Each structure stands twice: as C-alpha cells, then as structure tokens.
Amino acid sequence: MTPYQWFNVVSSLGYVLFTAATSTVTMLVPTIILLRPLSPNLYARVTSNIFACWWTSCLFITERLNNVGVRVTGDPLPLHVPLLIMSNHKCNLDWMFLWSAAIRTGSLFHVGVFKAIAKSEIRVIPIFGWGCKLNGFAYVRRRWASDASHLTTWIRSQIRRELHANWTLIFPEGTRYTDRNKERSDQSCAKDGLEPMAGEILRPRTKGLALLLKESADGGDYYRKVVDMTIQYTDAIGVPLKGAALGTRCFGQLATGELPVATCHVHFDVFSVKDVPRGADEDEVETWVMQRWRNKAAMLEGCAKSGRFEGVKEWTSSGGEVPFVLQTFLRVFFVAQGLCCVGLAVSSPAFAAYVACAMGGLAVIAHTDPAWW
C-alpha cells in the first residue's frame, strides 16, 4: 500500500477501535451498573443514544474518506414509533448505510433504539460485537430449533420494556449475496417448485420475520409499521456493483479509502402493520414476503439499466452529507474521552483494574449470550 493508504488505515481503524473501546469503558459499562438494574427502558434509551452519537462520528469513513453518496427514495420513515425493517443483503456494509440513510430523517436521535438481528459469529468480535450486545442486538445461530426460543424471549423483552421508538432490522435472506449462496437459493426454490429469484436476490427465509410479526400482534401491535428496504450500490458511472465486488474485502477497501461504491441507493416502502400478514399462518407471511422480494428484483433490474431506482420519489431532505460540524464535534468528543480514559488507566491502578474487569465481564456476556440479558 502507498503511504497515503497506510495513513487512511491508521486514521480510520485507529479512530474506530480506540473510541469504541474507551467509550465502552467510560460510558456503556457505567450505564449497565447504574441504570439497567433500576430501569431497563432508560438503559436502552441511553445506550442507544451513545451508539447513535458514536456511529454518526464514524460516518466520515464512508462519506468523506470514500466519498460515498447516499440517495434515499420512497416513503418517509415514521418517527418515534417502533419499526420492523426487512432488507435484501448485498454486503456486510448494508446496515451501516441504513444508518446513513436513517439519520437523514432530520435528527440524529429520530433513529430511536436501533437494533438488528445478526448472526451469532458477530457477538464474539472484541469491542464491536460486545457493544452491539450491550445495545440489545439479537444474535441467531441460523438453526431454527434454538433461534425460535431465543427470538421469542428477545422480542417479548422489547415489548415488555415498551420502547416507543425501537427500530429492528432483519435480513430475511439470512446471509449476504454471493454466487454460491445464489446457487443454493435457486436450488431451494426449485426444490419447492418456485421460480428462482431474478438478479442478485436470494430466497428470503421468513420464519424469524413471521415470529416477530406474530409476537408483535400478540403484544398489541408493538411494531406499528413494517418497512421494506431495498439497497443497491453503483460505481462512479452508475453501473450497479456485483456482489463479488463487495465481499469480505469491503472492510479493507473502506479503511483505505478505496471502496468502489460511488452511490448507495436506499429505497423504503412503508406498510401499516395491519396491512401485513401477522397471524399464526407462516405461509401467508412467506407469500407476502416473496412478492415483496420479486418487487425488489424488478427495482434492481431497473437500477441496472438507468443507474438509479426508477419511478420513485426522492426525499428532498436526503441530499448531501451529515453536517461536517456535527461529525467533527462528535469525533473530538470521543477522542477526548478516550484520552481521559487512557490517562486514568495509566495513572490509577484502581481504574486499570476496573477496565480489566469491565472488558472481562463484557466478553463473558457476549460469548455466553444469556437469555436473561
């Protein structure tokens, strides 16, 4: 790599790792000790706002270092209500760009209590996986026998806490797009007598989504809206990027400033939960989701021809970047608290012991993934 690329790697990854580790110790762990025993609801709100501020401070990596634009189309996202968001899964960066699109609703804190259904392997990633666990992410093993019980416990805890602005992101495809996963998806469709999904779309797995919808209905329609999100990436001349160009190496490209993405296109279709199948019949949910996924395939095909989603309304508030002043203020704040944390750890044996205990405790919680959490 060139000296410039090395500088990008050090500045971007260094910032992410340093601020994530120190803010976990100085802000997230104290909220567990002080707030969670008293009010799980307040704890969830505070941790989510900390996560919101930290992640917004990191957007310079995508929006400035890599100069990626975000084009948002479709229905406006409702504010201050629980949303269940389902999306196709192009690459490992999808949830990051959902965040970029979501905060363009006009306020950093409108995103609310953001959570995602993620694969269990993420939970063991030091700092990042632990932090997501603290923020209430649900980890699944993609084995329904165990995941059904875990998801049921998780969603009931969300309903019990009455989190009024809980956004839950789920990828029904279960994995990101690859040629191998596409082959498996087509085989699954053929086995069940279904037409294969067109384009870079995988057959959605709907058991988890159906469970969330049913539990939501049983809890008095906890989720007020269901959001169908479609995501696509195009290069500098508007050509959609193939899944192979956004594989596991995308994180390295992101860090060096060489991500091949020029524009991320995010489209939202918002449905009232009353217009979505949410009863005990999983087949009805599967039929509805399959139709939505075929609509996605048509949208992606149109994007391949024109370089953008066609025939859709673009948000007037979605243009441009997150304000530079806001990002800069947040970066300065997180670096400053990080330096204070390091200074205390070096000068105070008691604080150093606290840091060691905090990290050890977080690792245990994340690795064991206890149901009571």
Task: Give the pLDDT confidence of 282-306 residue by residue, as tens digits.
Answer: 889 999 999 999 999 999 988 888 8
Which residue segment(s) compose the domain that 317 sits in? 66-328
DSSP bridge partners of 206: none
Percent of the chain with pLDDT over 90: 28
* pLDDT given at position 316: 52
Residue 9 lies in a domain: no
- Euclidean distance between the first and the last CA atom of the chain, given in angstroms as a whole number: 43
> What is the 8-class DSSP label of residue 63?
I
d(CA 188, CA 193): 9
d(CA 252, CA 107): 30
Three-state helix/strand/coil letters over 183-250: HHHHHHHHHCCCCCCCCCCCCCCCHHHHHHHHHHHHCCCCCCEEEEEEEEEECCCCCECCHHHHCCCH
CATH code, domain carrying 198 = 3.40.1130
- State yes or no: pLDDT of 321 exceeds 60: no
Q: What is the pLDDT of residues 18-41, one digit of tens each?
A: 999 999 999 989 998 898 888 877
Residue 150 lies in a domain: yes
Contacts of 144 (CB under 8 A, 6+ apart): 207
d(CA 73, CA 270): 11
Contact at 8 Å (CB) between 296 and 201? Answer: yes
Residue 130 lies in a domain: yes
- State yes or no: pLDDT of 47 exceeds 50: yes
* pLDDT given at position 209: 93
Q: What is the pLDDT of residues 206-245, one digit of tens each?
A: 999 999 999 888 878 889 899 999 999 998 888 888 766 6
Mean pLDDT rounded to a whole number for the chain: 84
- State yes or no: pLDDT of 272 exceeds 90: yes
Most confident of 163-177, 208-222, 250-264: 208-222
Residue 30 lies in a domain: no
Residue 370 lies in a domain: no
pLDDT range class, residue 6, cuts 50, 70, 90: confident
* pLDDT given at position 45: 79
- State yes or no: pLDDT of 351 exceeds 80: yes
> What is the 8-class DSSP label of residue 28?
I
pLDDT range class, residue 88, cuts 50, 70, 90: very high
Counting the structural domains of the chain, the total is 1
- State yes or no: pLDDT of 319 exceeds 50: no
Query: Per-residue pLDDT averaged across 78-90, rounded?
Result: 88
28 class by beta-carbon count within 10 Å (0-12 exposed, 13-18 middle, 19+ buried): buried
pTM above 0.85, yes or no: yes
* pLDDT given at position 286: 92
* pLDDT given at position 212: 92
6 vs 112: which has the higher pLDDT: 6
* pLDDT given at position 279: 73
pLDDT range class, residue 369, cuts 50, 70, 90: low
CA distances, 40 to each of 106, 132, 240, 359 (Å):
27, 16, 43, 21
Query: Coil, helix or strand for 314?
Result: strand
- State yes or no: pLDDT of 110 exceeds 70: no
Residue 364 lies in a domain: no
Residue 353 lies in a domain: no
d(CA 285, CA 282): 5
Residue 267 lies in a domain: yes
Which string of DSSP letters, residue by residue, matches 333-364?
HHHHHHHHHHHHHHH-HHHHHHHHHHHHHHHH
* pLDDT given at position 69: 85
